[in-house]
Amino acid sequence: MLQHFSLYFPLFSPPADTEQTGGDLRKVIIDTDTGADDASALILAVKSGKLDILGVTTLVGNVDLEQSTRNALAALETAGSDAPVYNGSSERYKGKKIEAFSVFGSDGMGDAGIVNTTGKAEETDAIDFILETVKKYPNEVEIIALGPATNIAKAIEREPETMQKVKMIWSMGTAGFGHGNASPVAEFNTYADPDAYKIMLDSGINITMKRSNNR
């Protein structure tokens, strides 16, 4: 069920009374179509010291899947994290191709030549990883969704009961009541795969939306 609708950013500013310490790190999966904004979020997530990043799952969105994975690996490497990265969806939930839509250059990182990672994604598929991890830590895992909801929708389709054990999905999605960035009214992550976003919203999983602060 939709718990909150919030109109502020960033994702990683917890309320003052929920600061985490020591071994009390929040278990998270970060789901990302990694362009420069998501790369910044990954670095902030690592450097916050508040999160146990169990894995990073990638998908097409701002860039294609291969570039998304490469950028995620580079961001984690830059931040000094060895969190594993898993390849996810290369097309929409219903099989249509998502046209990569980057406002950050052809590599999603400003074409600055800074993506030089030697790291590699894990062999395990992102959907398998999400489901295995939620089963391993029932009602403990939070998913930070920074891209289209395609991976999450596929996980819900495959094992809806398992996904009910996700503690919270933090979704960077929708334009709230403001202007969109993909159309005058639509925000990119919802616009890119609306069927997947609907499945996520209708799933009954606890969701907090954090709109993109575009305007």
Residues near Ca ion, by CB under 5 A: 33, 38, 146-147
Q: Which is nearer to Ca ion, 25 or 186 (CB)?
A: 186
Q: How far is the CB of 193 from Ca ion (least distance, A)?
A: 12
The residue (of 98 and 156) whose beta carbon lies closer to Ca ion is 98
Choice between 33 and 107, CB closer to Ca ion: 33
Q: Rounded distance, CA 87 to CA 83, Å?
A: 13
CA–CA separation, 192 and 116 (whole Å):
28
Cβ–Cβ under 8 Å, residues 46 and 73: no
- Paired residues of 132 in beta bridges: none
Q: How far is the CB of 139 from Ca ion (least distance, A)?
A: 26
Minimum gap (Å) between residue 206 Cβ and Ca ion: 21
Residue with Cβ nearer Ca ion (141 or 192): 192
**Cβ 146 to Ca ion shortest distance, Å:** 4
Q: Which two tokens stand for residue 141?
A: 């895992």
Residue 212 DSSP one-character state: -
| Measured distance CA(65)–CA(33) in Å, rounded | 7
